[in-house]
Amino acid sequence: MRLFTQLGWYFSQEWRRYLGAVALLILIAVLQLIPPRLVGVIVDSVTREHASAPQIVMWIGAMVLIAVMVYLLRYVWRILLFGASYQLAVRLRGDFYRQLSHQQSRFYLRHRTGDLMARATNDVDRVVFAAGEGVLTLVDSMVMGCAVLVMMSTQISAPLTLIALLPMPVMALVIHRYGNQLHERFKLAQGAFSSLNDRTQESLTSIRMIKAFGLEDRQSALFAHDAKVTGERNMRVARVDARFDPTIYIAIGMANLLAVGGGSWMVLNGSLTLGQLTSFMMYLGLMIWPMLALAWMFNIVERGSAAYSRIRSLLDEASVVTDGTRPVPAGRGTLVANIQQFHYPETSQPALRQVAFTLQPGKMLGLCGPTGSGKSTLLGLVQRQFDVEQGSICFHGVALPELQLDSWRERLAVVSQTPFLFSDTVANNIALGRPWASQAQIERAAQLASVHEDILRLPEGYNTEVGERGVMLSGGQKQRISIARALLLEAEILILDDALSAVDGRTEHQILQNLRQWGEGRTVIISAHRLSALTEASEILVLAHGGVAQRGRHEQLLGQPGWYRDMYRYQQLEAALDDGPNDGVKTDLEACDA
C-alpha cells in the first residue's frame, strides 16, 4: 500500500481524472446493488403468487437497463483511469531519460546499461500497471464491498452478515503477510532480471568479439546461468503469488457455508424469507470480487512499489557535477588549466597531478604519452565529465564549475577515441549536432574529414543506413564520420581524443592539413599516439604517470632526450619500413639524431 503514498504527487496532479473514475466506480457499485434486490422481490412475489407478468417483465427490463448502463460507465472510467496511468508512464520515462542524460561519467561507473534499461522499461510498466489496475481494484473492492455490507446488514440481516464475515479478518492478516513477502521477493527478482538484461546487452554489442574468439558456448553458459537465477527468483515470487487465491477461496467457502447454515436456520425460524436468503446469497456472491480484487491489488501494488523504489533511487541520485549559474562570456577565450591533483572515484592513486597549461584562442595543444598516462582524463576534465578536486580549469578567467554546463559544452566539439554512430543514414549521423544543416554543409564537413569519397562509394551515398553502431563501416570510416560531425558544429574548441588512430598516415596528413584551414581562429586540443599528428601543435604536453614529463613544440622535444624523441624515432623507422625510404623520413630521422 505504500505505493499510493509514493505516487501521491501524481495523483494530486491528475486528480480530475482519478476523481471522475472513482465517482463512476461508486455509481456502478450502487447500480450493481439493485439487481440482487430485484431478484429477491421476484422470488418472494412468485412464491406468494403476488406478482403479475407485466411486473416481472418490468423488473427484468430494469435489470437489463442497469446492465447496459454499467457497461457504458465502465467504458468511460477505463478511459479516465488508464489514460491517467499511461500519462504516468510518459512522465516517468521522460524524467528517467533526462536523469540519465544529465548524469556524468561517475554515475555510469556504478550502474550497468542493462540494469538501467530494465528500470526504464520493465519497472515503469509495473508502476503504471499498479497506478491503473491497482487504483481500480482498491476503489472497486472497497466501494463494492462496503456497499454490499451495508445492504446485507441493513436490508436483510445484520446477525447473518456478522456470521458470514467471521473468516474475513483472518484472511486479511494472512494476505497482508503475503504482501510483505511478495515485495521483498519481487525486488530481488527485478534485480536478477536487470542482470540478465545486462548480460544480453553486453553479448549483443560484443557479438563480433565473441565469435572471433570462439566464445559462443562460454557466453551461452553464462547467459543460461543468469537465466536460471532469474527463473529461480521469479519462482520464489510465484510461490507467494500462488498462495493468494487459495486463501481467498477458502475464506469465501467458509463464508458461504456459514451463510447457508445460519440463513437456513433463520428461514426455518421465520426470521428470514426465502427471497431474502436468495438476495443475501447473491450479495455474498458479489463479495467474491472485492475479496479477490483485494488480494490482486496487494499483489500488483507490492510489485509496483518494489519497482518504483528502484526507479526512485535513480531519480533521486544527484549529479556529482553540478550546473553553474554563469553563461560563458561572448567571444573567444583563453583556456587555463592548473590541476594540482585529481583522483577517480574510490581510488587512492591520483590520475593527474601538477598539470598546467595556457591555451590561447586559435592555438593547438598536443597531448601524448604512454597508455594510461592521463591524456583522456585531462580531456574529460576539460569537458567537465568530472570536476577538479585540487586546482582549477578556467575559461575567460571563470572557473568551469561556475559556468552553465550546456553553455560551456556548446563551445566544444568532441571526437572520442571510440566513435559511436547511430543506426541511421550517414547524412543524419554527420548532422547529429546540427539537424538543420544543408546537404552542402554536410558534404563540406565530410570533405574536411577526408571521408566524402568513401561515402560516395556506399550503395546509397549519404542516404546509406550504416546499421547499429555503424557495423557496416570500417574503424577509419567511423572515425572520420565522427570528425565530420564535430567539424559541422563549427565550435570554438575542437577536442580530438586519439581520433586518428584508425586512419592511415596519408589520410591523417590530409585531415590535419584540412584542420589547419578550418581551424584558423579556433582552438584545437588533440591527443594522439601517432606523434606525426602533433607536429603543428603550438605546445605539446608529454604525460607520464599522470604528470607532465616534457613540454614544448615538436622541434624542441626532438632535441631533448626522452620519451617523445624515442617514440618519434621509432614511429619514423616504422614508417620507413612500411613505405620505403624517402627524403622526408631521412630528414626527420636526422633531426632525431641531432
Phi, psi (degrees; rounded to nearest 5) at 340: -80, -40
Nine-digit cell string for 304: 509496483
Asked if 368 contacts 564 with a C-beta cutoff of 8 angstroms, the reply is yes
pLDDT category of residue 51 using cuts at 50, 70 and 90: low
Three-class HEC string of 251-270: HHHHHHHHHHHHHHHHHHHC
Question: What fold does the segment set 2-315 form as a domain?
Answer: ABC transporter transmembrane region fold (1.20.1560)
Nine-digit cell string for 115: 540494469
Alpha carbons 363 and 278: distance in angstroms, whole number: 94
| Mean pLDDT, all residues of the chain | 80
**Per-residue pLDDT for 544 more than 60?**
yes
Nine-digit cell string for 192: 536478477
**Per-residue pLDDT for 551 more than 70?**
yes
Alpha carbons 312 and 6: distance in angstroms, whole number: 9
The total of other beta-carbon atoms located within 10 Å of residue 177's CB is 12
Residue boundaries of the structural domains of the chain: 2-315, 335-556, 557-594
* Mean per-residue pLDDT, 363-389: 87
* Mean per-residue pLDDT, 507-533: 82
pLDDT category of residue 540 using cuts at 50, 70 and 90: very high
Least confident of 2-16, 54-68, 279-293: 279-293
Q: Between 196 and 293, whose confidence is greater?
A: 196
Alpha carbons 298 and 174: distance in angstroms, whole number: 11
Alpha carbons 265 and 261: distance in angstroms, whole number: 6
Nine-digit cell string for 432: 547529429
Please report the pLDDT score of residue 586 as a whole number. 44
Phi, psi (degrees; rounded to nearest 5) at 471: -65, -25
The total of other beta-carbon atoms located within 10 Å of residue 246's CB is 9
Question: What is the tens place of the pLDDT at every residue in 201-233?
Answer: 777 777 777 777 777 788 888 888 888 888 888
pLDDT category of residue 592 using cuts at 50, 70 and 90: very low
Phi, psi (degrees; rounded to nearest 5) at 30: -65, -45
pLDDT category of residue 409 using cuts at 50, 70 and 90: confident
Alpha carbons 485 and 496: distance in angstroms, whole number: 12
First to last CA, the chain: 80
Please report the pLDDT score of residue 559 as a whole number. 87
**Per-residue pLDDT for 498 more than 80?**
yes
Please report the pLDDT score of residue 585 as a whole number. 43
pLDDT category of residue 178 using cuts at 50, 70 and 90: confident
The total of other beta-carbon atoms located within 10 Å of residue 519's CB is 18
The total of other beta-carbon atoms located within 10 Å of residue 306's CB is 26
CATH assignment of 335-556, among 2.40.110.10, 3.30.565.10, 3.30.70.270, 3.40.50.300: 3.40.50.300
* Mean per-residue pLDDT, 290-306: 73
pLDDT category of residue 416 using cuts at 50, 70 and 90: confident
The pairs formed by 507-514 with CB atoms below 8 angstroms and a separation of 24 or more are 507/450, 507/476, 507/480, 508/532, 508/533, 510/450, 511/448, 511/449, 511/450, 511/480, 511/483, 512/536, 514/447, 514/448, 514/449, 514/450
Same fold: 2-315 with 335-556: no
Half-sphere exposure of 543 (CA within 13 A, CB side): 27
Three-class HEC string of 396-444: CCEEHHHECHHHHHCCEEEECCCCCCCCCEHHHHHCCCCCCCCHHHHHH
**Per-residue pLDDT for 169 more than 60?**
yes
Question: What is the tens place of the pLDDT at every residue in 89-129?
Answer: 888 888 888 888 777 777 777 777 777 887 888 788 888 87
How much of the chain, in percent, has pLDDT values that exceed 90?
Answer: 5
Alpha carbons 291 and 142: distance in angstroms, whole number: 9
**CA dist list (Å): 551 to 196, 357, 475, 554:** 48, 10, 31, 9
* Mean per-residue pLDDT, 252-265: 79
